[in-house]
Structure formats: structure tokens, C-alpha cells
Amino acid sequence: MQFSSFSEFVAMGGYGFYVWLSYGVSFLLLLGLVMVTKTQHSKIKRTIAQSILRNERINKARKELSHES
């Protein structure tokens, strides 16, 4: 489909509002998905790091208790 001007392209034969609205909503949803994914990824990495530190403290305490016995 060819358009004679940019404004005709944007209007898309009267359906431009729905077309551009669907593009906008899709873009916002994808952007939201990326943001949520990054947030969850950071949270998971923080949880794993805390778990590793906790396990190291537990193992250190066990070693100290076994040396005392």
C-alpha cells in the first residue's frame, strides 16, 4: 500500500488511531516485561548471594564447633 504523504501514512485510511495505539500498547507491555525481568533477576542474584554467605557462616561455625570438641 502506497501513501502520498506522511500524514496519510499516519492516518492509515482512518484506522491509524487503532494501529498506532496497538503499537504503543505492545511497546509499553514489552518495556514493562523487560523492567520486571531485570528487577526479578537482580532480586534472585541478591538472594543467591545471601544464601551463599549464610552457608559459609554455617560451615565456618560447624568447623569451629568440631575443633572445640
Contacts 24+ apart (CB under 8 A), 48-55: none
Count structural domains, the chain: 1
Burial 13-22 (b: 16+ CB within 10 A, else e): eeeeeeeeee
28 confidence band (pLDDT: 50, 70, 90) = very high
Give the DSSP H/E element, type plus range, for residue 12.
none
For residue 49, being part of any structural domain is answered with yes
Q: What is the rounded average pLDDT of the residues 59-67? A: 91
For residue 42, being part of any structural domain is answered with yes
Predicted TM-score (pTM) of the model is 0.68
For residue 1, being part of any structural domain is answered with no
**To the nearest whole number, what is the mean pLDDT of the chain?**
94
* Domain extent at residue 53: 6-68
For residue 64, being part of any structural domain is answered with yes
For residue 56, being part of any structural domain is answered with yes
For residue 31, being part of any structural domain is answered with yes
Q: How far apart are CA 65 and CA 61, in angstroms?
A: 6
For residue 12, being part of any structural domain is answered with yes
